[in-house]
């Protein structure tokens, strides 16, 4: 692969986008404020000089990632909207209106895998930089912050023992069929009926019969595992092919409902964790924990997200404070003076404990700090917007790296949506000033 290059140019026989669109549109203003050279340097660093077709222009990739999470679009919907919307095309650096997309929806997947969390964090950093340059946020807003955690759920079905066991049987049988391994018996028909009956018996509170059907499922799964191991023994290629799925299937068969330690909640996403946040409507959520940092003040442009990071292993909130604040200071270049958190951060590991204030704390609380502590809950609606409007409700990206990437992209999309609203306010204020300047002489 060679370095990405941008060779888009004017068409002699067609009008340019600048002659079609409204140049005062907030998306046009946002495109003018973003430092695309900075993003090109970060995104281009993952491409090595060599033979092959050049990748997509970095501005196109960065623009697509921003638009996707700013407007809560899937990859497929983004491709359709991009062809229809000239403002989307102008934002991504197009000179002429394009009637067909120069990229495929799988291009976004490959670029996300290529960039990783470290390079995609440049979008979040640039959103804060644009906000600071346009006076939407000030340096003092970066010095006093609120830290909180939430759960980013994975796009999986609700896990039950019967469903997981049945899915393990189906996946093993399908893999054996594709690899040419002939099984003694597949048990697909009887396993499907047993999985259905577990749900029916449980709904009718006939738990003894439900346990009998679940035991039937586990017995058949064990038979398939042993049959496959006998058939592939000594074949290194098949052992490597079946190894990961066999290990997962064995864990599914042996795990119990109330056992301690890690469990398998999904066969296609084994990294999923069960997290209980004490919610009455959702006692348990399946995904990973995400740390969110926002200003404790009220910036003019809105409550921006200063830092977002996925945390695997379901760590205690207080043990995440030190690395999160260190990452935040590296991202913004501003030292944090005050940190506010809820009672989940008691017993934190931050070195300077005199910079941390916990909800309900009485000692060392002045009037100014008490005012800030009343605004600690301002992070909660931000988390709600991240989930409902910017694709953090259900994460469809694969693996732990997908969890980390989606959290950062959701935060960047939220910040850029605040910037769009900020530019609309500035435009309205400018038009109001001009209107008053025109009307004042007439009134006089």
pLDDT in tens, 278-293: 888 889 999 999 999 9
CA 404-409-414 angle, to 5 degrees, is 135
Helix (H) or strand (E) holding 348: none
Whole-number Å distance between alpha carbons of 155 and 149: 19
Percent of the chain with pLDDT over 70: 96
pLDDT for residue 260: 85
pLDDT surpassing 70 at residue 442: no
**Cβ neighbours for 200, distance < 8 A, ≥ 6 positions apart:** none
pLDDT tens digit sequence for 39-48 = 999 998 888 7
Whole-number Å distance between alpha carbons of 180 and 23: 61
Question: 169, 221 in Cβ contact below 8 A?
Answer: yes
Q: Which residues pair with 339 in a beta bridge?
A: 145, 356
444 pLDDT band, cuts 50/70/90, is very low
Rg of the chain over Cα atoms, rounded to whole angstroms, equals 27
The better pLDDT of the pair 434, 33 is held by 33
Per DSSP, the three-state class of 96 is: strand
Kind of pairing, strands 338-341 and 144-154?
A: parallel
pLDDT tens digit sequence for 132-156 = 999 999 999 999 999 999 999 999 9
Nearest to 181 by CA among 222, 241, 221: 241
Q: For 55-74, what is the mean pLDDT?
A: 94
Whole-number Å distance between alpha carbons of 393 and 149: 14
Whole-number Å distance between alpha carbons of 379 and 375: 8
pLDDT for residue 323: 94
Please report which residue ranges of 134-206 form alpha helices under DSSP H.
Answer: 139-143, 161-179, 188-203
Nearest to 368 by CA among 297, 439, 303: 297
Residue with tokens 């980013």, as numbered in its chain: 152
Residue with tokens 């679009």, as numbered in its chain: 73
pLDDT for residue 208: 97
Q: For 340-348, what is the mean pLDDT?
A: 92
255 pLDDT band, cuts 50/70/90, is very high
Nearest to 123 by CA among 196, 212, 58: 58
pLDDT tens digit sequence for 211-245 = 999 999 999 999 999 999 999 999 999 999 999 99
Residue 173, number of CB atoms within 10 A of its CB = 19
pLDDT tens digit sequence for 7-29 = 666 666 677 898 889 998 999 99
pLDDT tens digit sequence for 371-421 = 989 999 999 999 999 999 999 999 999 999 999 999 999 999 999 999 999
Expressed in percent and rounded to 5, the helix, strand and coil fractions of the chain are 55, 10, 35
Please report which residue ranges of 282-398 form alpha helices under DSSP H.
Answer: 321-332, 367-374, 379-389
Percent of the chain with pLDDT over 90: 77
């Amino acid at each position: 692969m060679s370095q990405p290059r941008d060779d888009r140019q004017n068409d002699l026989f067609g009008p340019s986008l600048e002659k079609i669109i409204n140049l005062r549109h907030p998306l046009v203003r946002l495109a003018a404020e973003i430092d695309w050279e900075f993003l090109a340097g970060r995104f281009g660093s993952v491409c090595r000089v060599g033979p092959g077709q050049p990748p997509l222009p970095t501005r196109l990739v960065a623009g697509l990632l921003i638009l996707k999470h700013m407007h809560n679009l899937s990859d497929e919907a983004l491709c359709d909207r991009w062809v229809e919307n000239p403002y989307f095309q102008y934002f991504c650096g197009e000179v002429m209106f394009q009637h067909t997309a120069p990229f495929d929806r799988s291009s976004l997947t490959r670029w996300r895998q290529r960039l990783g969390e470290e390079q995609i964090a440049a979008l979040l950093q640039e959103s804060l930089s644009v906000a600071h340059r346009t006076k939407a946020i000030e340096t003092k807003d970066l010095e006093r912050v609120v830290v909180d955690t939430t759960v980013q759920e994975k796009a999986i079905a609700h896990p039950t023992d019967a469903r997981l066991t049945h899915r393990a049987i189906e996946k093993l049988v399908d893999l054996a069929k594709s690899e040419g391994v002939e099984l003694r018996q597949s048990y697909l028909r009887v396993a499907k009926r047993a999985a259905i009956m577990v749900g029916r018996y449980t709904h009718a509170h006939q738990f003894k019969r439900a346990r009998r059907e679940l035991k039937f499922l586990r017995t058949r799964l064990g038979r398939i595992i042993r049959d496959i191991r006998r058939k592939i023994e000594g074949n290194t290629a098949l052992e490597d092919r079946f190894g990961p799925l066999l290990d997962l299937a064995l864990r599914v068969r042996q795990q119990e409902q109330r056992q301690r330690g890690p469990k398998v909640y999904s066969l296609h996403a084994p990294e999923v964790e069960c997290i209980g946040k004490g919610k009455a409507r959702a006692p348990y959520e399946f995904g990973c924990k995400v740390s969110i940092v926002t200003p404790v003040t009220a910036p003019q442009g809105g409550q921006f997200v200063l830092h977002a990071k996925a945390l695997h292993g379901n760590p205690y909130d207080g043990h995440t404070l030190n690395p999160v604040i260190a990452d935040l200071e590296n991202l913004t270049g501003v030292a944090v003076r005050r940190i506010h958190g809820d009672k989940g951060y008691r017993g934190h590991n931050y070195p300077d404990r005199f910079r941390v204030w916990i909800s309900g704390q009485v000692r060392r609380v002045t009037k100014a700090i008490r005012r800030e502590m009343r605004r600690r809950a301002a992070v909660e609606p931000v988390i709600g917007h991240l989930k409902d409007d910017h694709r953090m409700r259900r994460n469809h990206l694969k693996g732990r790296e997908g969890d980390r990437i989606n959290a950062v992209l959701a935060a960047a999309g939220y910040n850029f949506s605040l910037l769009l609203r900020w530019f609309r306010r500035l435009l309205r204020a400018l038009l109001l000033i001009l209107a008053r300047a025109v009307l004042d002489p007439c009134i006089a």
